Structure 1
Amino acid sequence: MSSNPILPGYHPDPSICRVGDDYYLVTSSFEWFPGVPIFHSRDLTHWRQLGHVCHSLDLDDLRPSLGIYAPTIRHHDGVFYMITTLMDTAGNFMVTATSPEGPWSEPVWFPETRGFDPSLFFDDDGRCWMHGARERENKEFDGDTEIWLRELDLTSQKLVGEETVIWTPHLRGGIWAEGPHIYKANGWYYLVTSEGGTAEDHAVMVARSRSVAGPYVGNPRNPVLTHRHLGLRHPITSTGHPDLVVTPDGEWWSVLLATRPYGGTDATPLTMADVRREHGYNLGRETFLTRVTWEDEWPVFDQVTLDFAAPALPVHRWPAAPACDHFDRLGPAWQFLRTPRETYWTVGDGLTLKVRPPALTGHGNPSLVAQPQAHIDFAVFTELTFTPGEGEHAGLALIQNDDFHIRLSLRAGGLELIHRAEGVDTLAGWTEAPGGRVWLGFEAHGQDYQARYALAPGEWRSLGPVLDGRILSSTVAGGFIGTMIALYATSEGRESSNSAHFAWYDYQGR
Structure 2
Amino acid sequence: MTRFRNPILPGCHPDPSICRVGDDFYLVTSTFEWFPGLPVFHSRDLVHWRRVGHAFDRPDQLPLDGVPASGGLYAPTLRHHDGRFHLICTLVDGAEWSGHFVLTADDPAGPWSDAHRLDGAGIDPSLFFDDDGRAWCTGTRLTGRYEGHTEIWLREYDPSGPALVGEEHVIWDGAVKGAIWAEGSHLYKIGGKYHLVTAEGGTALEHAVMTARADAVTGPYEGNPRNPVLTNRHLGLGHPIVGTGHGDLVETPDGEWWMVLLAMRPHHGDRCVLGRETFLTAVRWMDGWPVADPVEPVRAAPSLPPAPWPAEPACDHFDGPDLAPGWNTLRPPRERWWSLTERPGRLRLRLRPETLAAGANPSFVGRRQEHPDFAAFTALEFAPRDDEQAGIALVQNGDFHVLLVSTERGLRLLKREQGVETVLAEAPATGRARLGFEGHGRWYRALYATEPGPLVPLGPPVDGDMLSSQVAGGFTGVYVGLYATADGRVGGGHADFDWFEYRPLPGPV
Q: When the two structures are superposed, what TM-score results if normalisation uses the length of structure 2?
A: 0.95
Tell me, yes or no, if structure 1 residue 63 matches structure 2 residue 62.
no
Q: How far, CA to CA, are the matches of 1:50 and 1:347 in structure 2?
A: 22
Match for residue 342 of structure 1?
A: 335
Output one character per residue of 1:322-372: Cα deviation in whole Å (capped at 9) or x when no partner. Answer: 211112231111111012110111125221111000001111110111110
Residue pair 1:57, 1:339 contacting (<8 A) in 2 also: no
Residue pair 2:388, 2:486 contacting (<8 A) in 1 also: yes
Q: How far, CA to CA, are the matches of 2:128 and 2:402 in structure 1?
A: 43
| 1:141 Cα offset (Å) | 2.2
Match for residue 205 of structure 1?
A: 210
Residue pair 1:51, 1:333 contacting (<8 A) in 2 also: no
Match for residue 411 of structure 2?
A: 415
Match for residue 498 of structure 1?
A: 493
Q: Gaps (5+ residues) in structure 1?
A: 264-274
Show the 5 A alignment for 1:418-457: 418-434=414-430, 436-457=431-452
Residue among 109, 115, 119 paired with 2:117: 109
| 1:484 Cα offset (Å) | 0.5
Residue among 357, 360, 383 paired with 2:356: 360
| 1:459 Cα offset (Å) | 3.7
Aligned partner of residue 170 in structure 2, secondary structure: strand
Q: How far, CA to CA, are the matches of 2:34 and 2:312 in structure 1?
A: 23
Residue among 483, 493, 500 paired with 1:488: 483
Please tell me the residue identity of whatever aligns with 1:501.
D
Aligned partner of residue 166 in structure 2, secondary structure: strand
Moved more, 53-62 or 172-181: 53-62
Q: How far, CA to CA, are the matches of 1:496 and 1:458 in structure 2?
A: 35
| 1:417 Cα offset (Å) | 0.1
Q: How far, CA to CA, are the matches of 1:162 and 1:499 in structure 2?
A: 57
Output one character per residue of 1:94-144: Cα deviation in whole Å (capped at 9) or x when no partner. Answer: 00000011000011001x3110000000000111101111112xx122321
Show the 5 A alignment for 1:358-397: 358-397=354-393
Residue among 31, 34, 44 paired with 1:32: 34
Residue pair 2:62, 2:114 contacting (<8 A) in 1 also: no
Q: How far, CA to CA, are the matches of 1:168 and 1:321 in structure 2?
A: 43
Q: How far, CA to CA, are the matches of 1:447 and 1:126 in structure 2?
A: 51
Output one character per residue of 1:169-217: Cα deviation in whole Å (capped at 9) or x when no partner. Answer: 1112111100000011111100000110000000111000010111100
Residue pair 1:59, 1:338 contacting (<8 A) in 2 also: yes
Moved more, 46-55 or 99-108: 46-55
Q: How far, CA to CA, are the matches of 2:387 and 2:484 in structure 1?
A: 11
Residue among 121, 124, 131 paired with 1:124: 131
Aligned partner of residue 220 in structure 2, secondary structure: coil
Match for residue 82 of structure 2?
A: 77
Residue pair 2:120, 2:139 contacting (<8 A) in 1 also: no
Residue pair 1:35, 1:57 contacting (<8 A) in 2 also: no
Please tell me the residue identity of whatever aligns with 2:488.
G
Residue pair 1:78, 1:98 contacting (<8 A) in 2 also: yes
Residue pair 1:443, 1:449 contacting (<8 A) in 2 also: yes
Q: How far, CA to CA, are the matches of 2:290 and 2:479 in structure 1?
A: 36
Residue pair 1:290, 1:301 contacting (<8 A) in 2 also: yes
Residue among 171, 191, 200 paired with 1:166: 171
Residue pair 1:11, 1:285 contacting (<8 A) in 2 also: yes
Match for residue 249 of structure 1?
A: 254
Q: How far, CA to CA, are the matches of 1:22 and 1:227 in structure 2?
A: 30
Match for residue 198 of structure 2?
A: 193
Q: How far, CA to CA, are the matches of 2:415 and 2:77 in structure 1?
A: 37
Please tell me the residue identity of whatever aligns with 2:101.
F
Please tell me the residue identity of whatever aligns with 1:408.
L
Equivalent residues, number: 492
Match for residue 502 of structure 2?
A: 507
Show the 5 A alignment for 1:318-337: 318-327=309-318, 328=320, 329-337=322-330
Show the 5 A alignment for 1:93-104: 93-104=101-112
Q: When the two structures are superposed, what TM-score results if normalisation uses the length of structure 1?
A: 0.95
Tell me, yes or no, if structure 1 residue 88 matches structure 2 residue 93.
yes
| 1:426 Cα offset (Å) | 1.2
Q: Gaps (5+ residues) in structure 2?
A: none
Output one character per residue of 1:250-272: Cα deviation in whole Å (capped at 9) or x when no partner. Answer: 10000000001113xxxxxxxxx
Aligned partner of residue 465 in structure 1, secondary structure: coil
What's the % identity of the aligned pairs? 57
Match for residue 295 of structure 1?
A: 286
Aligned partner of residue 172 in structure 1, secondary structure: coil
Output one character per residue of 1:421-468: Cα deviation in whole Å (capped at 9) or x when no partner. Answer: 11111111101111x211100111111111000102334111111111
Aligned partner of residue 466 in structure 2, secondary structure: helix
Output one character per residue of 1:462-483: Cα deviation in whole Å (capped at 9) or x when no partner. Answer: 1111111111111111111000
Please tell me the residue identity of whatever aligns with 1:486.
G
Tell me, yes or no, if structure 1 residue 135 matches structure 2 residue 126.
no
Residue pair 2:68, 2:93 contacting (<8 A) in 1 also: no
Residue pair 1:12, 1:27 contacting (<8 A) in 2 also: yes
| 1:377 Cα offset (Å) | 0.4
Aligned partner of residue 343 in structure 1, secondary structure: coil
Residue pair 1:396, 1:486 contacting (<8 A) in 2 also: yes
Residue pair 2:99, 2:117 contacting (<8 A) in 1 also: yes
Q: How far, CA to CA, are the matches of 1:209 and 1:413 in structure 2?
A: 68
Residue pair 2:486, 2:492 contacting (<8 A) in 1 also: no
Q: How far, CA to CA, are the matches of 2:481 and 2:314 in structure 1?
A: 16
RMSD: 1.0
Q: How far, CA to CA, are the matches of 1:26 and 1:501 in structure 2?
A: 33
